[in-house]
């Protein structure tokens, strides 16, 4: 499995685990990385956030292009 595939799988797994609380979980992780001054950790969680957004699909009420 490639690193990219691992991150997609991780994003899907935490979505499953945290459900509607996924946003709070990711914000907590981002804040932790900021507090630690961990640029690599911050970049990781920003990447996971983007993948969660993409996996979540279009916003409710949006219209197809």
pLDDT tens for 28-59 read 999 999 999 999 999 999 999 999 999 998 87
Q: Is the pTM here over 0.75, yes or no?
A: yes
The alpha helices in the chain, defined as continuous H runs, are: 3-18, 22-36, 39-56
Percent of the chain with pLDDT over 70: 98
Inform me whether the pLDDT recorded for 63 exceeds 90: no
Q: How many CB atoms lie within 10 A of CB 39?
A: 10
Residues 17, 60 contacting (CB under 8 angstroms): no
Q: Is the pLDDT of residue 62 over 90?
A: no
Q: Are the CB atoms for 11 and 44 separated by under 8 Å?
A: no
């Amino acid at each position: 499995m490639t690193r990219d595939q691992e991150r997609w799988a991780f994003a899907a797994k935490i979505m499953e685990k945290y459900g509607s609380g996924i946003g709070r979980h990711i914000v907590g992780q981002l804040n932790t990385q900021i507090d630690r001054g961990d640029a690599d950790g911050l970049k990781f969680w920003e990447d996971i956030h983007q993948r969660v957004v993409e996996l979540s699909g279009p916003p409710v009420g949006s219209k197809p292009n």
